[in-house]
Amino acid sequence: MNMSPAEPDGKRYQHWLLFLLLAIGLTMWFWLDLWLGGGLIGGDIYTYFMPQKSFYADSLHSGVIPQWNPLVGHGYPVIAESQTGVFYPANLLLYWLCDVNTAYNVIHLMHYVLAFMATLAVARELGLSFSAGALAAVVFVYGWFPPRCCLEWAITTGAYLPLCLWLLIRFQKTGELLWLWGLSGALALQLLLGHYNLAFITQLALATWVAISFFTEVASKKRTPGGFPSLLVRKTIFPGVAIACGLLLASMQLLPTWTMKQNSQRETNSSAEFDPGYGHIPPEYLSQIFLPWYWYADADQLDSRLGHMKLLASRTGTNKVEAHLYFGIIPLLLAIYGSMKFVDFRKKKMEKDCLSSDRTPLLILAGLGLFGVVYATGLLVPMMQYLPGFGFFRGPGRYGILTTLAVAMWAGYGLDQLLKKRALRWQRIVLWLVFIATVFDLSWVSQRVTYAFMVPKTPIVVRKKSKVRAILINHPDPARVFAPGPNLVTTIGVTATSNPIYLGIGPAEYFEPALMYPSDKEQTGEKQVNEEEQSGTIHFTSAQLKWLRQAAVTHILSFHPPAADDADLKLVWAGFDEFLNRAWGRQEPLYLSELLNSHRRADWETEQDHATREGEIRWLEYAPNHLVLEVESASNRKLILRDLYDQEWYAFLDGTPIESERYAGMFRAVSVPQGKHLLRWEYHSHSFKLGKWISIATLTIWLLLGARRISRILRRN
C-alpha cells in the first residue's frame, strides 16, 4: 500500500481511486442506515435542521428561493440566519431534486468523503505515504465529526478546512496561481453553507500558515528571484487576496447575516444570554484523550460530570459534544512516537533537517494544534473574546478541530517512521492492525458520545401524513400553533411559535423580555410541569392567554388536554400523530386545541372586543417572500398583520407603496382607506441585493481569471 511521491502517474491515479473507494466504504461502516434510506434523530436534528430544510425544500419545489421564513415564531430572514445554506450549490440542487431526507443524507455523506480525500491530499503534500495519509484521514474525519452529527454545519463546513489547507500548500510548493484561484472558490463554498465558526477557524489557520511560512523562508536567507519584495507579494499578498476574494464571492450570504447581527440577541441588551465561553473543554476533561474508557463507559452521565469539574473550572457551561476531543489510542501513540523520531533526544537537539522547508508544515501544524487545545479549554476566552471574530461564536471546544488535524498528521508521520525499516510482509500486517483497530475505536466512541442516532425509518419521510397538519392547513386563516419543542411543528408546513424561539442568530424582538411569552413565577418550570401531570390538563395564566391571543395563536398543541370547564380552549383532536409522535419519541397521545377569541393573523385595529370585526379580509397568497390580501372596509382603518415587523418588508396598496409601521413592538401595521383594495407585502433585503451584485461581479472576474490561467497552462503543456 505504501507509495512514494515519485511513483508514476498511472499508479498514483490508481491509488487515489482506491482510497476514494475506501472513503466511501467508511461512510457505509459509520452511516449504513443513511445509505439505506434511514436518517438521524436527536439533538438539534428535529428542533433546528429538519424544520429549516423542510421549509427550504418546499420553497424550492414551489419555484421560490426563500429569503424569509414565515413559519418560525412570527418569521425571520432565513438568508441572514445562514444555517439553511440557501445558496450552497449542492443544497440548491439536491433539495430541489430529492425529498428532504435523501438530500440531507447525501449532503451528510458527500462531505465525509470530501473531508477524507482532502485530508489525504494534505498528508501527501506533507510527504506522508498513502497508507499514513489514509490513517490521518480516518483520525481527523472520524475522530472529530461523528460525535457532532447532530450539528449539520460541523461536517459540511469542517470538510473545507483540509481542502483549503491543501490548496494553499499546493500554491506554496508550485507557485501556480491556479491553486489560489481554487482556494477562493473553496472558501466561498464554505461560507455559503452558513454558521461561520469553522470558516473563521479555517481562515485563522490559513493566515497563520501563510505568516509562519513567510517568516521561515525569510529566516532561511535563501535567494529568491526579485528579492524580498517579490517574496512578500507571492507568499503573503497573493494568499491574502485569495482569501479576500472568497469573502467577496460569498457576499450574498455574509452581508445579510452581518446586517441582521446588528439587530439580534447578540448585539442588544438581550445578548446577556449569549456566552462565548459556552461549549469549552474543561481542562480536567482533556484526560479523555488517553482515558476514553474512564469517561465514555457511562456516556449518559457525561453532561452531569462535566458540570461538576473543579480544576481550573470555567463558570460557563458545556456539553459532551462540544467538549469532545479524541483521536484514538493507537494514533495518539503513533503521534508521540513520530514526535520522538522528529526530535533527537539523545543529542538534545532537533534533527539536522527538521527546520528545512519540507518539515516546517509539521511544526506549523503542531503549533496550530497546541493553540487549538489551549483555546478549547476556554481559559483564553475572557481575554480573546474582544478580538474580531472570537467573541461572535460560542463553543471554544470547536478549536479542537485544529488539534485533531495536527495529531492526525503526526500519527501518519509516526506510522511512516515505524514502517521505515520493516519488511514488506510486516508492514502490511501492522498497517491493517492499526487501521482496523483505529476504525473500531473511533466507531465505538462515536456511538456513545453523541446526541443523535441513526434510525432505519426516520420521521421526516411521513411529515405530510401528519393528522395535525391536515387539520391546520384547512383552517380559514393561516394557522399559528403554540407548541412544545421549538421549530419542530413547522416541519409539517404550518406556522408555530414556542417559548422561547430557538434561532442561532434571531431578531432581537424574540429575546426582548417585554415582548416574550410571559412566565408566571408561581407557575413555571418544573412546578408547572408537575402540576399539569398531576391534574392531567394544561394551564395558562391570564397574562399568557393575552399574549397568545395578541400573537394570533389559533391553536395549542400539547401533551395534555384542556380542562373540561376551560372556556378559552376547545379540544379539536387527540390521538397519535404519525410524524409528531415519532419525532418526539412519544407513545402517549397529543392534543390539539383551538384558542377561542384569538386575533386573526391579519386583523383590524379596534379597542372593542376583536370578535366584533368590521370589514372583510381575505387571504389570496401567503408565500415566503410576499403575501397578498384583499381588504374591504366601510371606513378608514388600520390593519394589523401579526407577523414580525422588519424594515425590509414593503407594503403596497393597489400597487402603490405605502408606509408600514411597527405595532405593539413586534407586528406590522398599515393604514387602509375606505373601500375595496389589494394589499401586498414584499420582502426586499437591501443587504442581500448589495451582496448579490458584489458576488456576481466577483464571480465574473474570478471565472475570467480562472479561464485565463487554465488556458495558459494548457498552451504551455
pLDDT digits (tens, 9 = 90+) for 173-206: 999 999 999 999 999 999 999 999 999 999 999 9
Neighbour order of strands in the sheet with 602-604: 602-604, 637-641, 667-672, 661-663
Q: Rounded to a whole number, what is the distance in angstroms from the first to the last CA of the chain?
A: 31
Q: Look up cell 425509518; give the residue.
A: 457
Kindly state the average pLDDT of the residues 340-352. 59
**H-only helix segments in 473-567:** 525-535, 542-550
Instruction: Show Cβ contacts of residue 488 under 8 Å, excluding neighbours closer than 6 positions.
Output: 46, 47, 51, 496, 580, 583, 584
3-class DSSP state of 127: coil
Region 407-427 average pLDDT: 85
Question: Cα-flanking dihedrals φ and ψ of residue 601, to 5°?
Answer: -55, -45
CB neighbourhood size of 98 (10 A) = 15
pLDDT at 350 over 90: no
> Strand 602-604 to strand 495-497: parallel, antiparallel, or no bridges (unpaired)?
unpaired
Do 672 and 679 contact (CB within 8 A), yes or no? yes
Nearest to 568 by CA among 608, 590, 539: 539
pLDDT in tens, 422-438: 666 677 888 889 999 99
**What pLDDT sits at residue 14?**
86
The amino acid at residue 68 is W
Nearest in space to 263 (alpha carbons), one of 519, 644, 602: 644
Instruction: List residues bridging with 662 in a β-sheet.
Output: 668
Nearest Cα residue to 30 out of 131, 87, 93, 105:
105
CB count within 10 Å of CB 24 equals 16
In this structure, of 28-37, 156-165, 221-230, the range with the lowest mean pLDDT score is: 221-230
Please state, in angstroms and rounded to a whole number, the distance separating the CA atoms of residues 70 and 52: 11
Confidence of residue 537 (pLDDT cuts 50, 70, 90): confident
Q: Interhelix angle for 400-419 vs 160-174, to 10°?
A: 60
CB 39 within 8 A of CB 454: yes
**Mean pLDDT within 321-344:** 92
Confidence at residue 535, expressed as pLDDT on a 0 to 100 scale: 60
Alpha-carbon span 51 to 295, nearest angstrom = 33
The amino acid that residue 381 corresponds to is V
Looking at the predicted structure, is the pLDDT value of residue 412 above 80?
yes
Q: Which residue has the cell 479561464?
A: 707
Cα(83)–Cα(52) distance, rounded to whole angstroms? Answer: 8
Distances (CA, A) of 134 to 115, 124, 363, 397, 413: 11, 10, 20, 25, 11
The model's pLDDT over 262-292, given as tens digits with 9 standing for 90+, comes to 887 766 544 455 678 899 999 999 999 999 9
pLDDT confidence tier of residue 351, bands split at 50, 70 and 90: very low
Partners of 602 in the β-ladder = 641
How many angstroms separate the CA atoms of 143 and 701, rounded? 39
pLDDT on residue 220: 73
**DSSP letters for 170-236:** HHHHH--THHHHHHHHHHHHHHHTS-THHHHHHHHHHHHHHHHHHHHHHHHT---TTHHHHHHIIII
pLDDT band with cut points at 50, 70 and 90 for residue 530: very low
Residues contacting residue 545 through CB under 8 Å, at least 6 positions apart: 568, 595
In this structure, the strands spanning 667-672 and 675-683 are unpaired
Give the pLDDT band (50/70/90) at residue 531: very low
3 state SS of 26: helix
Confidence class for position 32, pLDDT limits 50, 70, 90: very high
The amino acid present at 338, given as its one-letter code, is G
C-alpha cell at 207: 493566515
Estimate the crossing angle of helix 424-446 against helix 400-419, to 10 degrees.
Answer: 160
Q: How far apart are CA 116 and CA 135, in angstroms?
A: 10
Query: Cα-flanking dihedrals φ and ψ of residue 633, to 5°?
Result: -145, 150
Neighbours of 140 (CB within 10 A): 31
The DSSP 8-state label assigned to residue 518 in this structure reads P
Site of grid cell 476566552: 381
> Which residues make beta-bridge pairs with 637?
672
Domains of the chain plus CATH, in order, are: 275-420 (no CATH), 479-598 (no CATH), 603-684 (2.60.420)
Cα distance between residue 127 and residue 420, in whole Å: 13
CA distance 1 to 13: 13
How far, in Å, CA of 230 to CA of 226, rounded? 5
DSSP strand pairing (661-663 vs 637-641): unpaired
SS3 assignment, position 324:
coil
Q: What is the pLDDT of residues 586-598, one digit of tens each?
A: 999 999 999 999 9
**Quick one: cell of 168?**
494553499
Q: Is the pTM of this model over 0.85?
A: yes
| Residue 195 main-chain phi, psi, to 5 deg | 45, 90
pLDDT at residue 218 in the model: 80
Q: What is the pLDDT of residue 268?
A: 52
Look at residue 500 in the predicted model and tell me its pLDDT: 85
- Alpha-carbon distance 443 to 450, whole Å? 12
Q: What percent of the chain has pLDDT over 70?
A: 90
Q: What does the longest C-alpha to C-alpha distance in the chain come to?
A: 97
Average pLDDT of the chain, as a whole number: 89
Q: CA 123 to CA 133: how far, in whole Å?
A: 5
- CB contact at 8 A, 395 and 316: no
Neighbours of 460 (CB within 10 A): 25
Q: Side by side, which strands form the sheet with 555-558? A: 495-497, 480-482, 555-558, 590-595, 569-575
Is the CA virtual torsion 295, 298, 303, 308 positive or negative? negative
User: Strand, helix or coil at 555?
Assistant: strand
- H or E stretch covering 256: helix 251-261
**Pairing of β 76-77 and β 68-69:** antiparallel
Nearest-angstrom CA–CA distance, 92 and 63:
11
pLDDT tens digits along 298-319: 888 898 888 888 777 777 889 9
Q: How do residues 230-249 score in pLDDT, each as one tens digit? A: 788 888 999 999 999 999 99
**Which residues, 6+ apart, have CB-to-CB distance to 680 below 8 Å?**
626, 627, 628, 629, 651, 652, 653, 655
Look at the chain and count its residues.
Answer: 717
